[in-house]
Amino acid sequence: FIKESLKAFTQSENKDDLSVLLEDLARKRINPVIDKKFPLELSAQAVEHFASGKACGHVIISPSL
């Protein structure tokens, strides 16, 4: 087992919260740290990278890169 948690971000049902998040991102009030991006076809590699503990930020799996 690993101590990190795996979280997926999807569109929130709470549109107000999502609007605030998007505004904060646009105004650079928050700066998410992205370690690596993977296309959907390499999801297994993305999970392995995350589970290895070597990721220094978020690991992104995207359907289209």
Q: Encode pLDDT of 10-38 as tens digits.
A: 654 678 888 888 899 999 998 889 999 99
Average pLDDT, the chain: 85
Q: Counting Cβ atoms within 10 Å, is residue 59 exposed (0-12), middle (13-18) or buried (19+)? A: buried
| C-beta of residue 35 within 8 angstroms of C-beta of residue 56 | yes
Q: Which residues pair with 62 in a beta bridge?
A: 39
* Per-residue CA distances from 54 to 11, 15, 36, 40, 44 (Å): 27, 34, 11, 20, 15
Q: pTM higher than 0.75 for the full model? A: no
